[in-house]
Amino acid sequence: MDANKRQRYEKISEELTRLVGGRENIQGVAHCATRLRIVLKDNDLADLKSIEDVNLAKGVFVAGDQVQIIFGAGLVNDVYEVFAESNNMKNMSLSDLKTEANKKMNPLQRIIKALSDVFVDIMPGILAAALLTGLSGVLGNMEFVKGNDTLYGINTLINIASGAIFGFLPLAVAYSACKRFGGRPILGIVIGCIMLSNSLADAYAAAQGTAEVTTLHIFGFGVELVGFQGGIIVALLMGFVTAKLDQFFEKKVPEVIRLLISPLLTTLVGALLLFTIIGPIGRGLSSGITNALVWMTQNLGVIGYSAFSGLQQLVVITGLHHIFGAIEAQLLADTGRNFLNPLMSVAIIAQGGAVLGYLFLHRNNTKVKELCIPSFVSVLFGITEPALFGINIRYRFPIIGGCIGGALGGIVVYITNLAAIGFGTTVVPGIALADPAGNGYINYIIAHGIAIAGGFIMTLILGKIMDRPQEEKSCKESGKEKGLESMRSLVGKEKEGTAEAKEEQTEIPEKEIFYGYADGQLIAMEDVKDETFANKVLGDGIAVLPSAGKIYAPADGTVLSVFDTKHAVCFQSSSGTEILIHIGVDTVNLKGKYFTVHVKDGDVVKRGQLMVEFDREQIEKAGYDTVIPMIFTDLADGKVLEKETPGLMKPDKQAVAVCKE
Superfamily of domain 501-660: Glucose Permease (Domain IIA) (2.70.70.10)
Nearest by Cα to 54 from 79, 37, 33, 27: 79
Predicted local distance difference test score (pLDDT) of residue 469: 39
pLDDT at 118: 76
For the segment 207-213, the average pLDDT, to the nearest whole number, is 78
pLDDT band at 286 (very low <50, low <70, confident <90, very high): confident
If you average pLDDT over every residue of the chain, what do you get?
A: 80
pLDDT one-digit tens code per residue, 297-351: 667 889 988 988 888 887 665 444 555 666 777 777 777 788 888 998 999 999 9
Provide the pLDDT for residue 322.
52
What local confidence, expressed as pLDDT, does residue 240 receive? 93
In this prediction, residue 494 carries a pLDDT of: 38
Residues annotated as catalytic (active site), given as ranges: 32
Contact by Cβ (8 Å): 434, 342: yes
CA dist 5 → 79, 485, 498, 583, 627 (Å): 10, 20, 11, 29, 34
Residue 362 has pLDDT above 60, yes or no: yes
Round to whole Å and give the CA distance between 131 and 138: 11
| pLDDT at site 212 | 85
pLDDT of residue 547: 92
How confident is the model at residue 355, as a pLDDT? Answer: 92
Cβ-defined contacts of 17-20 (< 8 Å, 24+): 17/83, 17/86, 17/87, 19/46, 19/47, 19/50, 19/51, 19/54, 20/45, 20/46, 20/47, 20/51, 20/67
Which of 149-153, 320-324, 550-554, 634-638 comes out lowest in average pLDDT?
A: 320-324
pLDDT tens digits for range 447-474? 999 999 999 999 999 988 875 433 333 3
User: Looking at domain 3-104, what is its CATH homologous superfamily?
Assistant: Glucose permease domain IIB (3.30.1360.60)
Residues paired with 420 in a beta bridge: 338, 434
> For position 304, what pLDDT does the model report?
87
pLDDT at 390 exceeding the cut of 70:
no
Residue 64 has a pLDDT of 57
| Coil vs helix vs strand at 625 | coil
pLDDT in tens, 107-154: 665 665 666 667 667 767 765 776 677 677 678 778 888 889 999 999
**DSSP letter (8 states) at residue 388:** I
Position 138: which residue type?
A: V
> Read out DSSP for 309-324?
HHHHHHHHHHTGGGGH
Average confidence (pLDDT) over 197-211: 81
| Contact assessment for residue 76 and residue 34, using Cβ atoms and an 8 Å cutoff | yes
User: Percentage of the chain surpassing pLDDT 90?
Assistant: 30
Please report, for the chain, the start and end positions of each structural domain, with discontinuous segments joined by +.
Answer: 3-104, 109-200+230-299, 337-471, 501-660
User: pLDDT (tens digit, 9 = 90+) per residue, 460-516?
Assistant: 999 888 754 333 333 333 333 333 333 333 333 333 333 333 334 445 567 889 999
List phi, psi (to 5°) of 163: -65, -35
pTM score of the predicted model: 0.46
CB contact at 8 A, 580 and 570: yes
Q: How far apart are CA 477 and CA 468, in angstroms?
A: 12
How far is it, in rounded angstroms, from Cα 163 to Cα 130? 9
pLDDT number for residue 105:
61
More confident residue, 639 or 343: 343
Contact predicate 350/409, CB 8 Å: yes
